[in-house]
Amino acid sequence: MTSLSAHTVKSLLLGITGGVAAYKAAELARLLIQGGVDVQTIMTQSACHFIGSVTLQALTGKPVFTDMWQANNISNMAHINLSREVDVILIAPASADFIAKLANGIADDLLATLCLARDCPLLIAPAMNRQMWENPATQRNLAVLRHDGVKIFGPADGAQACGEVGMGRMLEANELVESIQGIFQPKLLQDQRVLITAGPTFEAIDAVRGITNASSGKMGYALARAALDAGAEVTLVSGPVCLAPPAAAKCVNIVSARDMLVAVKKEMSRTDIFISVAAVADYRVARTRKQKIKKTDNALMLELVPNPDILQYVANLPEAPFCVGFAAETEDLEKNAEIKRLKKKIPLLVANLAQDTIGADDSMLVLFDDEGKQYLSKAPKIDQARRLIKHIAFLYKKQRS
């Protein structure tokens, strides 16, 4: 069987099995096609009850195969050839029934036969009722698949179509697309424990008002994704943002800088690498009012006191993890960044221009370390995150050797 190597997926066989989540497969196909992936769809007979093959045909621009004998009209060996032409097979949604078939090597329809006869990696995104998911039979089948090298994405926890709440929701299409590309990334941080702070902090002034920083959390979340894809165990300590964390990361939600410090301290004994991306508010009010402050025509004075510098605290620990800081500057980027790196005594500082990067989907970065500086030209944040993880892995290994 082909090993998972460092490249991106160019062609994919999308297998859809019978479940309500089949509707999400249409969005998935659309995102994959948009990302330049060639998609060939195979649907089981049950899947056809949930979504029309014409939808998938229109989205992928290719005929959809729904049964073994129809497929054989086009190619004598469709059950073998179709998988030879792709980098990977993804079953989304993968029903409990189909998972049971895969675990037992049953080949009674085109999709199951293709999976058995494949020579490419097999990925599945399970979707089912929570009790079907928790059933020991399903869990046994999943253990068999894991042992056989099948990669399992999700499921997620939450409200289900059946009205129940629990594990069994198929991952969202965008998360699946990222996860698919992720498994082909080099495992540069295999089993390393990475702690990332992300997003802004919010410092309450009174019951309804507060001080915060403009920060979308996009870079920190992209780094969490990239670190997971590099094989790391990731904990994400996040301020209030409108982003979904990667399902495989442990996520700790906080509000204020002091909450963030508490969360970071808790993780310290299990952290090898600390990446401080959060835009931590430098000050908080000396006295937070419980009630809303009444508006008057007079000026209002607030006394501000400095917040703890979390990165500096971690970097100064006797057994500090490998520390990476970020600097968002509006002027004199390079001068300010190098001063900051030396002041915080950290091996790597990542600088970017605040006005270009805050809230944006792409960024331009300058990396400062003991060797000097390195420019990462403008690119989507997930690509920058992957480049940065590569550099971090290089410096981290060098420091330890």
Q: How many CA atoms lie within 13 A of 297 on its CB side?
A: 0
**196/228 with CB nearer ligand C5P:** 196
Q: Which stretch binds ligand C5P (CB under 6 A): 146-154, 161-169, 176-184, 277-285?
A: 277-285
Residue 255 in contact with residue 284, Cβ under 8 Å? no
Residues 51 to 90: which contact ligand C5P by CB under 6 A? none
Active-site residue, 242 included = no
Q: Does 366 bind ligand C5P (CB under 6 A)?
A: no
Q: Does 153 bind ligand C5P (CB under 6 A)?
A: no
Cα–Cα dist 366/349, whole Å:
8
Q: Does 322 bind ligand C5P (CB under 6 A)?
A: no
Q: Which of 24, 235, 49, 45 is nearest to 125 (CA)?
A: 24
Q: Which stretch binds ligand C5P (CB under 6 A): 86-94, 233-241, 276-284, 361-369?
A: 276-284
User: Which tokens is 289 given?
Assistant: 């009012």
The distance of closest approach from Cβ of residue 350 to ligand C5P in the complex, given in angstroms and rounded to an integer, is 8
Q: Which stretch binds ligand C5P (CB under 6 A): 120-128, 275-283, 366-374, 387-395?
A: 275-283
The distance of closest approach from Cβ of residue 345 to ligand C5P in the complex, given in angstroms and rounded to an integer, is 12
- Which residues have a Cβ under 8 Å from the Cβ of 390 and sit 6 or more positions away? 186, 188
**121/199 with CB nearer ligand C5P:** 199
What are the Cα distances from residue 48, in Å, to 17, 67, 107, 251, 395? Answer: 8, 11, 19, 37, 51
User: Which tokens is 328 given?
Assistant: 């968002």
- Residue by residue, DSSP assigns 78-99 as HHHHHHHT-SEEEEEEE-HHHH
Indicate which single residue of 83, 185, 271, 276 sits in contact with ligand C5P (rule: CB under 6 A).
Answer: 276
Indicate which single residue of 325, 351, 365, 389 sits in contact with ligand C5P (rule: CB under 6 A).
Answer: 325
Indicate which single residue of 278, 315, 351, 367 sits in contact with ligand C5P (rule: CB under 6 A).
Answer: 278
Catalytic residue among 120, 162, 251, 323: 162
**99/310 with CB nearer ligand C5P:** 310
- Full strand arrangement of the beta sheet holding 250-253: 250-253, 233-238, 193-198, 273-276, 322-329, 348-353, 362-369, 372-380
The distance of closest approach from Cβ of residue 141 to ligand C5P in the complex, given in angstroms and rounded to an integer, is 43
Q: Does 351 bind ligand C5P (CB under 6 A)?
A: no
The distance of closest approach from Cβ of residue 311 to ligand C5P in the complex, given in angstroms and rounded to an integer, is 3
Cα–Cα dist 233/247, whole Å:
12
Residues 280 to 319: which contact ligand C5P by CB under 6 A? 280, 282, 307, 309-311
Q: Does 13 bind ligand C5P (CB under 6 A)?
A: no
- Which residues have a Cβ under 8 Å from the Cβ of 94 and sit 6 or more positions away? 15, 17, 102, 124, 125, 126, 127
For ligand C5P (CB under 6 A), the number of binding residues is: 15
What are the Cα distances from residue 90, in Å, to 43, 70, 246? Answer: 12, 21, 19
Q: Which of 99, 103, 62 is nearest to 82 (CA)?
A: 62
Q: Does 326 bind ligand C5P (CB under 6 A)?
A: yes
Residues 162 to 221: which contact ligand C5P by CB under 6 A? 197
**Which amino acid, 252?**
V
User: Which tokens is 381 given?
Assistant: 């944040």
Q: So which residues are the catalytic ones?
A: 162
Residues engaged in binding ligand C5P (CB under 6 A):
197, 257, 276-278, 280, 282, 307, 309-311, 325-327, 340
